[in-house]
């Protein structure tokens, strides 16, 4: 059975979805997700929420969560490589393509990056254009800027528990 809940965060409400044994999706408020086939239950996401809260408070740099990512072998290789980009650093799509052994595959890497179902935890926000400029991000460029500022210690965050919130039934 698939479960979901909403979590309030400094970048807006996040939809968390998955199964008892792993996180499958994090979705930003600007994404439309149908939750009609899922059961609303925050319990399977307590650890995810705890780690995200610590990340947004500047206290966590690397997530340790069970993930249930589904994609093509190529997408999975890109998503694994994303997790190797150090906290607070950025690389280009071309560099990411080189790291997975496909130096001419920057466009394909960009598509796989854009299909990442678990942003923040799998840090697709750490990839930019070859000129260093911010490029597309599922949560929007302002959100990408905020995540990168947070990781560079430039974003003031508040300590403490982030409240659970159910802003919409279908984000």
- Looking at the 3D structure of the chain, how many domains does it have? 2
Q: What is the side-by-side order of every strand in the sheet holding 39-40?
A: 22-27, 14-19, 3-7, 39-40
Q: Could you tell me the pLDDT band of residue 154, with boundaries at 50, 70 and 90?
A: low
CATH number at residue 11: 3.30.160
Q: Which domain holds residue 46?
A: 3-56
Q: Confirm whether 157 is domain-assigned.
A: no
pLDDT in tens, 106-124: 999 999 999 999 999 999 9
Q: Confirm whether 158 is domain-assigned.
A: no
CATH number at residue 94: 1.10.10.10
* Mean pLDDT computed over every residue of the chain: 87
Tokens encoding 52: 């995200």
Annotated catalytic, 124?
yes
Phi, psi of 83, deg, nearest 5: -70, -15
Q: Confirm whether 162 is domain-assigned.
A: no
Same domain, 79 and 138: yes
Tokens encoding 67: 């993930």
Same domain, 87 and 127: yes
CA angle 123, 71, 4 (to 5 degrees): 70
Task: Say what the pTM is.
Answer: 0.85
Q: Calculate mean pLDDT across residues 58-76.
A: 95
Q: Of 15, 124, 148, 150, which is the active-site residue?
A: 124
pLDDT in tens, 23-54: 999 998 766 677 778 999 999 999 999 999 99
CB of 41 closer than 8 Å to CB of 76: no
Phi, psi of 44, deg, nearest 5: -65, -10
The alpha carbon of residue 153 and the mean position of all alpha carbons in its chain are separated, in whole angstroms, by 18
pLDDT at site 155: 52
């Amino acid at each position: 059975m698939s479960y979901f809940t909403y979590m309030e965060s400094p970048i807006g409400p996040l939809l968390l979805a998955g199964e008892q044994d792993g996180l499958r999706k994090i979705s930003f408020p600007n994404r439309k997700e149908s939750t009609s086939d899922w059961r609303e239950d925050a319990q399977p996401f307590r650890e995810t929420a705890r780690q995200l809260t610590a990340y947004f408070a500047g206290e966590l740099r690397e997530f340790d969560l069970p993930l249930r990512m589904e994609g093509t072998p190529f997408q999975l290789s890109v998503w694994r490589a994303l997790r190797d980009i150090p906290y607070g650093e950025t690389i280009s799509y071309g560099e990411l393509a080189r790291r997975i052994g496909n130096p001419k595959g920057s466009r394909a890497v960009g598509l796989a990056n854009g299909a990442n179902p678990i942003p923040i935890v799998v840090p697709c926000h750490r990839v930019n254009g070859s000129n260093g400029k911010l490029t597309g991000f599922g949560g929007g460029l302002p959100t990408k800027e905020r995540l990168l500022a947070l990781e560079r210690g430039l974003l003031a965050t508040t300590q403490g528990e982030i409240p659970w919130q159910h802003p919409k039934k279908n984000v």
